[in-house]
């Protein structure tokens, strides 16, 4: 194996112009590694070039943030991101340039993060029928979803039921108890009403449909870009978390495993800023492996600046970054100005 040459990301005063350019170059490369929600198609230990331009990715013990208060916990993930439209390769600066094809994965989400996802991304569009969504885990491994019906004068509603995986890969919330204005009603549609049902079925609410009295959730449409392509085969409700298992039914070999918490990206080409990296080999590691790798794409430059980079003579890039939630630890608050 090529000897690893360690290069720390230090201040411009110590590194000079070339050091700053190099650090910026490494920072751009890091952006590549977390287009993730998603993840790489895996075959043998040596990355293979694919005609569809897919880049193989794997992830282990990663907390991925869509926003500061919306995250998912990726226990493991193997798959690929595949360029879409007129793009020949994934483009780091364009989340709509590729889709994420999941082969296998186990992804968990807390009820608080699920509620924030519904409020900020799913039911945030004009004309959406629901608002003020909250999600609670119940003792019997059921889910309670509460909210308000905007077209009905913001009256409160509540539905309780089991969350299961549907045969088509979607999530089904089977409504067993439904209340409107705290009064039991016959079913979910009695609470939602025809107008609200029509709004959902019209496609104004991405990723949410109805099936009788059940709500159907499609993660491919609910999650922000890049869009995912994967089938949920199993779901279980644990204390304060919902765990989903993805599988495509194929025997796919994953990328080589790395120690600790990481995101790995290998094979084919990717465009990062004005640069194009061929046969890419990038791994992002956690500087503090005692807890999950906390990554937020919107603020990755700050995470990179708080860490360091190693590059081999074969241009294998290894990034060591600080958890997003720990960036401000130890910093003194700025003094107030008079």
pLDDT of 139 strictly over 70: yes
As a whole number of angstroms, the distance between CA 309 and CA 7 comes to 6
In a domain, 337, yes or no: no
Q: What mean pLDDT, rounded, does the chain reach?
A: 79
Which domain range does residue 163 map to? 111-222
Choosing from 180, 203, 222, the residue where a domain stops is 222
In a domain, 231, yes or no: no
CB contact set of 28 (below 8 Å; sequence gap of 6+): 92, 272, 273, 275
Q: Are 257 and 283 found together in one domain?
A: yes
As a whole number of angstroms, the distance between CA 1 and CA 313 comes to 10
Q: What is the 3-state secondary structure (H, E, C) of 229-250?
A: ECCEEEEEEECCEEEEEEECCC
Q: Are 267 and 322 found together in one domain?
A: yes
pLDDT of 224 strictly over 80: yes
pLDDT of 203 strictly over 60: yes
Give residue-wise pLDDT tens across range 37-83: 233 333 333 444 556 899 999 999 999 888 899 899 999 999 998 89
- Paired sense of beta strands 293-296 and 55-67, if any: parallel
Q: How many domains does the chain have?
A: 2
Choosing from 207, 222, 237, the residue where a domain stops is 222
Instruction: Give the H/E segment covering residue 24.
Output: helix 12-33
């Amino acid at each position: 194996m090529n000897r690893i040459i360690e290069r720390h990301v230090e201040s411009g005063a110590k590194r000079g112009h070339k050091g700053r350019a190099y650090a910026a170059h490494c920072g751009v490369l890091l952006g590549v590694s977390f287009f993730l929600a998603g993840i790489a198609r895996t075959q043998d230990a040596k990355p293979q070039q694919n005609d569809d331009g897919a880049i193989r990715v794997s992830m282990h013990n990663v907390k991925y943030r869509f926003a500061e208060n919306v995250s998912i916990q990726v226990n493991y993930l193997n798959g690929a991101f595949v360029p879409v439209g007129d793009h020949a390769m994934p483009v780091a600066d364009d989340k709509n340039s590729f889709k994420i094809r999941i082969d296998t994965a186990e992804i968990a989400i807390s009820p608080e993060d699920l509620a924030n996802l519904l409020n900020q991304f799913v039911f945030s569009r004009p004309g959406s029928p629901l608002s003020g969504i909250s999600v609670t885990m119940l003792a019997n491994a059921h889910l309670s979803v509460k909210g308000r019906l905007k077209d009905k004068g913001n009256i409160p509603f509540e539905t309780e039921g089991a969350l299961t995986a549907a045969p088509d890969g979607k999530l089904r919330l089977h409504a067993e108890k439904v209340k409107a204005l705290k009064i039991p009603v016959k079913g979910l549609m009695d609470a939602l009403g025809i107008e609200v049902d029509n709004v959902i079925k019209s496609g104004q609410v991405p990723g949410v449909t109805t099936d009788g009295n059940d709500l159907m959730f499609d993660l491919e449409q609910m999650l922000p870009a890049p869009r995912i392509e994967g089938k949920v085969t199993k779901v279980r409700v644990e204390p304060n978390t919902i765990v989903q298992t993805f599988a495509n039914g194929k025997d796919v070999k994953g990328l080589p495993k790395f120690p600790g918490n990481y995101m790995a990206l290998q094979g084919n080409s990717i465009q990062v800023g004005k640069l194009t990296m061929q046969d890419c080999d990038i791994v992002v590691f956690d500087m503090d492996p005692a807890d999950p790798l906390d990554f937020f794409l919107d603020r990755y430059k700050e995470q990179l600046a708080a860490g360091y980079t190693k590059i081999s003579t074969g241009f294998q890039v290894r990034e060591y970054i600080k958890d997003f939630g720990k960036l401000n630890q130890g910093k003194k608050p700025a003094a107030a100005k008079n």
